[in-house]
Chain A
Amino acid sequence: MSFDLNLILQSLPQMLAGLGITLQLLLVSGFLGLLLAILLLLMRISGKFYLDWTAQVYIYVFRGTPILVQIFIIYYGLPQFEAIRESMFWHILREPTGCAILALTLNTGAYVSEILRGGVLSVDKGLLEAGSALGMSARQKFIYITAPLATRLSLPAYSNDVISLLKSTALASTITITDMTGIARTIVADTYAPYEIFISLAIVYMIFTFGLQKLFGVIERYLGRYTRREE
C-alpha cells in the first residue's frame, strides 16, 4: 500500500484548525474538574459521614462507568427531561460542547479528588502534630501545612490525569464536535485514507502531550525546590 505524504501535508492544517476546540475542552474541563475535585476531597476528609458518603458514591459512579457512556447519557439523555430544557443550564446543555465539557469535568473531578486525597494522606503526621503543638487550628494546619505539601505529592499523578484528559477530549468527536479528532474523522470519511490521517493525528496528540509533560516538569521542579540539598 502507498503512504500519501501529500495528503498528510494537506490535512494537517485542517486538523490543527480543531486545536482550539481541543484546547478549550481540555482547559475548561481541566479547571472546573480541579475545582470539583477539591470540593469532593474536602467532603471526603470532612469527618462528616454524610458528606464523605455522598462524595464516595459520586466517585464510585463516575469511575465505575466509561466516559463515552457518560458523554452519551448527558448528550442524548438529559434533553429528554422537560425540567432541564427549561432550566438555566439549557443554553449550555443544548450545545454539544457544553455537554462534552460537563461530562469531562464530572469524570476528571472524580479521579483527581482521589489523587489529591492520596497526597493529603501522604503528608507526614509528625508535621501536623508540630502544628498542633504550636497551637495552630485544624484549618490553619490544612492551609499552611497539608495543602502545599499534598500539592507537591499529588502532582506526578495529577499530570498523568491531565494527559489522560487530553486524550479523552477526542471522545467529544462522537457527539458532532469538530475538535481535532472530529475533523480527522470527516477527512477520513471523504478520502478513505485512515492510515495517513489518523497517524498524523496521533503525532499531533503526542506533540501536545510532550508540551504538557514539559510544563508539569517545570511545575514539579518549582514545587520541589525545598527537597534538594544544594541551593
Chain B
Amino acid sequence: MNDNNSQPSIEMIKVNKFFGTFQALKNIDLEVYKGERIVICGPSGSGKSTLIRCINRLEKHNEGRINIDGIELTDKVENIDAVRREVGMVFQNFNLFPHMTIEKNLMIAQQLVRKTPKVEARKIAMQYLERVKIPEQAHKYPIQLSGGQQQRVAIARALCMNPEIILFDEPTSALDPEMINEVLDVMVDLAKEGMTMVCVTHEMGFARSVADRVIFMDEGEIVEQATPQAFFDNPANERTIKFLNQILSH
C-alpha cells in the first residue's frame, strides 16, 4: 500500500531500451499515480508493448530508471519479485496454461508465489471467476472456452494475486469483434473500482470513456499525452493527427 499520494505508482525516468542496434524506447519519462487509468496507443512497432513490458521486467531496460511503488527495477531478483507481486498483466494471447483447468490457472500462482493454502486459493479463484461472470467454467480447460471467456479468465488470474497495478497488452486484439465488449466491460468495472491500469489498446471508445490520460507513442517516443477529450478533439502533434485519422477513418 502506498499512502503517500505524491509518490507515483509507476515512475520511468529517461528510459532507453535497445534490441541490438534498434532503439525501441527513446528517453521515456512517465509517471502514473495510484488509481490512474492510462491508455497507450500508437502505430505498430512504436514501442508501446515494450514500454509496459519494462514495467514488470519482462523486458530489461538498458538506460534510465524505473521505480514501481518506490521499488527500483534492477538486476536484483528480490526487487523484480517484489514488483511482480504488485503488478498484474493481461496479454494479447491470453497465455492461460493450457494443461491446467480454469480453476487451477487461477490457483497455481497463489499457491506457489503467495503460499496461499489450497482451499483458500480455490475460494479466491471462484470469487474472481464469479466477478468475470464465468464460475461455471471452472473445471474446463482453456481450449474449451471462447476467446472472450479466456481473456476474462486471464484478467481474473491477474486479480487473484491482488495487484496494485494491472498492465493490459492489447487485450482485445486477438478477439473476434463480438467478444470484445465482454472483455472491455470487465476492464471498465475494474477502472470504476479504482485499479491503477495501464492499457495498450486500439479501442478508442474505451480510451475516451475510461482513461484519465491518453499517451501517443511513435518510433519509441512519447509524442503526446493528454486527457482523452483534449487528445481526441484537439490533438497537438502532427503524428498524432495522422494516426487518429488512420484509425478513425472508417
Flag if A148 contacts B81 (CB, 8 Å): no
Flag if A226 contacts B91 (CB, 8 Å): no
Flag if A227 contacts B98 (CB, 8 Å): yes
Binds B, one of A27-35, A75-83, A122-130, A170-178: A122-130
How many chain B residues touch the partner (CB < 8 A)? 30
Sorting the interface of chain A by its residue count into under 10, 10 to 19, 20 to 34 or 35 or more gives 20 to 34
Q: Which of A135, A148, A227, A231 contacts B84, CB < 8 Å?
A: A135
Flag if B98 contacts A133 (CB, 8 Å): no
CB of A229 closer than 8 Å to a CB of B: yes
CB of B113 closer than 8 Å to a CB of A: yes
Flag if A227 contacts B143 (CB, 8 Å): yes
Determine the distance from Cα of A130 to Cα of B87 in the docked complex, in whole angstroms.
12
CB 8 Å contact bits of B139-159 with A (1 = contact, 0 = none) = 011111000000000100110
Query: Which residues of B have CB within 8 Å of A152?
Result: 99
Flag if A127 contacts B143 (CB, 8 Å): no
Flag if A149 contacts B113 (CB, 8 Å): no
Flag if B98 contacts A149 (CB, 8 Å): yes
Shortest C-beta distance, B116 to chain A (Å), equals 12
Flag if B113 contacts A136 (CB, 8 Å): yes
Flag if A135 contacts B143 (CB, 8 Å): no
Query: Which residues of A have CB within 8 Å of B84?
Result: 132-135
Shortest C-beta distance, B81 to chain A (Å), equals 6
Q: Given the known A-B contacts A126-B93, A149-B98, A226-B98, are A133 and B108 also in contact in the complex, defined by CB atoms under 8 Å? A: no
Shortest C-beta distance, B55 to chain A (Å), equals 10
Determine the distance from Cα of A134 to Cα of B161 in the docked complex, in whole angstroms.
7
